[in-house]
Amino acid sequence: LMTKLKQQTIPALINNSFQLYSDKTSLSYVDGKSYTYSELNIEIAKVKVLLAELGIEKGDRVAILSRNMPNWGISYFAITSLGAIVVPMLPDFHENEIQNIIDHSGCSTIFVSKLMYPKIEKISSEILKTIIYTDDLSIARRGSNEQQQISEPQEVNEEDIASIIYTSGTTGESKGVMLTHSTFLYTFRIHDERLDVRESDVSVCFLPLSHVFERMWTYYMLYKGATNVFIDNPREIIKHLSVIKP
């Protein structure tokens, strides 16, 4: 399947899943809303339009600071589909670490859950121009670089940077690691050689999606047409296992 993709990029991969698994459930809350692959496609397209209207273009850095929810993944795919670069941040990062990462990466736009908003509210609007709530994708702060006329999206290539991930900074300030689109898809190929994941499988997303391990696994599930179930509190996973049956 991986070799049939025209390009080894995240947008090519997710678009392939939309075509193959349109009516299957892609993402869901353990006790709430679920999205089929077709519905996921529609939601990603809406956020892509929103970002383009806000002036986000290929190469721009966009941060995500949020608890796990389907809109985390929707935001990620919308950002990478435009060729922009996702800068995910761990929910337990301190305000100072968040400030340093935003400064270092050059993010001017962030998706943040309302629960995490107090961690960024002191950051100047000169630096963080646009703030979007992941909870409902509403705009909390609108930047001045909004486009009257949306520019044509540029092609996303395999060696384009998809994400910059920052360490938790155990030896000083956090350090950024740049990951290309092809890096992610190479990992999926390795998984294919070792695992037998099918579209009938169900997986639980309970580690923070800002962790690259959880993010890679979640997206691998979507590549295989499986269902990913989100739980709010990792400490409650035992309670939910009998319901989810992963």
Place of tokens 């193959």: 20
β-partners of residue 64 are 88, 111
- Other CB atoms within a 10 A radius of the CB of residue 157 amount to 14
Which tokens belong to 197? 């994941």
Place of tokens 């998809």: 162
> β-strand 130-133 against 109-112: which pairing, if any?
parallel
- How much is the pLDDT for 150? 61
DSSP reduced 3-state for 155: coil
pLDDT digits (tens, 9 = 90+) for 22-75: 999 999 887 778 999 999 999 999 999 999 999 999 999 999 999 888 899 999
Quote the pTM value. Answer: 0.90
Residues of the chain below pLDDT 70 = 1-4, 144-152, 168-172
Distance in angstroms (rounded) separating the CA atoms of residues 37 and 22: 5
Chain centre distance of CA 101: 17
The values of phi and psi at residue 186, to 5°, are: -60, -40
DSSP symbol at 151 = P
Overall residue count recorded for the chain in this entry: 246
The string of DSSP codes covering 156-171 is P-TTSEEEEEE---TT
DSSP reduced 3-state for 122: coil
